[in-house]
C-alpha cells in the first residue's frame, strides 16, 4: 500500500490534517519535523541557531529518507522539505504526494503567533511568505500527485476530499476508511 506524504507551506495544516488522515486510514502518522526534534533532543529553532538552515536541511533529508522507507504511513513534511532534490525524488518514488495549499492571508493568521518557526523571524512576514510562495509553489506542484486547498476549510472536510481523491489515483493507498 502506498505511503501518503503531505507537502505544502507552513500553516497549511500538514500536521493536523496528517494526524486525522492517518487515523481515518488506520495508519501510523509521522511528522518529519517532530521526528527531527525527537532524534536531536532539541527544538527546530535551536537547531537553526546552532547549525543554520543548511544544517537543519541535512538533518531533514536524512529523516525524510528514513521515514519514507517505511510502509503504509502518512507523513507530514516541513514546508521547505521540497527544496532538496533528493527529498523530492524520495517522496515521489515512495508514495502519493499530497500538496496542501493555503491562501496567504490564512497562512499569516495561522503562523504569526507561532514562535517555533525560525524562518518567520522577519520584520515583514507578508512579503517574506509571498516571496517564499513564489519560489516554492512551482516545486510543490512539480511533485504533487494531488492538490487540496485547506483555506477556510474544516479539517474533516479536507480529509474527506483527500480520501475521495486517493480512491481515484493509480497509487491506491488502501486503508480502513
- At 15-73, the pLDDT tens digits run 999 999 999 999 999 999 999 999 999 999 899 889 999 999 999 999 999 999 999 99
Find the CATH number of the domain harbouring 90. Answer: 3.40.50.300
Name the domain count of the chain: 1
Does position 95 have pLDDT exceeding 90, yes or no? yes
Residues contacting 163, CB < 8 A, separation 6+: 21, 24, 25, 177
Question: Would residue 65 count as lying in a domain?
Answer: yes
Task: Residue 150: name the closest of 113, 100, 111 by CA.
Answer: 100
Residues contacting 89, CB < 8 A, separation 6+: none
Q: What beta strand segments (E) does 50-150 contain?
A: 74-76, 95-101, 146-149
pLDDT confidence bin for 136, thresholds 50/70/90 = very high
pLDDT value of residue 129: 87
Question: Would residue 92 count as lying in a domain?
Answer: yes
Domain of 133? 3-167
- State percent of the chain over pLDDT 70: 89
Tell if the pTM clears 0.95, that is, is over it.
no
Amino acid at each position: 500500500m502506498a505511503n501518503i506524504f503531505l507537502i505544502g507551506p507552513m500553516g497549511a495544516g500538514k500536521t493536523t490534517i496528517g494526524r486525522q488522515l492517518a487515523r481515518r486510514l488506520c495508519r501510523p502518522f509521522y511528522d518529519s519535523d517532530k521526528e527531527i526534534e525527537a532524534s536531536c533532543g532539541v527544538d527546530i529553532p535551536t537547531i537553526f541557531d546552532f547549525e543554520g538552515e543548511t544544517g537543519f536541511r541535512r538533518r531533514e533529508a536524512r529523516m525524510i529518507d528514513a521515514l519514507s522507507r517505511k510502509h503504509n504511513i502518512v507523513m507530514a513534511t516541513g514546508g521547505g522539505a521540497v527544496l532538496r532534490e533528493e527529498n523530492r525524488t524520495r517522496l515521489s518514488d515512495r508514495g502519493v504526494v499530497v500538496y496542501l495549499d493555503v491562501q496567504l492571508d490564512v497562512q499569516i493568521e495561522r503562523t504569526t503567533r507561532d514562535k517555533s518557526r525560525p524562518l518567520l523571524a522577519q520584520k515583514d512576514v507578508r512579503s517574506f511568505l509571498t516571496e517564499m510562495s513564489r519560489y516554492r509553489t512551482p516545486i510543490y506542484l512539480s511533485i504533487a500527485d494531488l492538490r487540496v486547498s485547506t483555506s477556510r476549510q474544516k479539517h474533516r472536510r479536507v480529509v474527506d476530499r483527500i480520501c475521495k481523491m486517493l480512491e481515484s489515483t493509480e497509487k491506491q493507498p488502501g486503508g480502513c476508511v
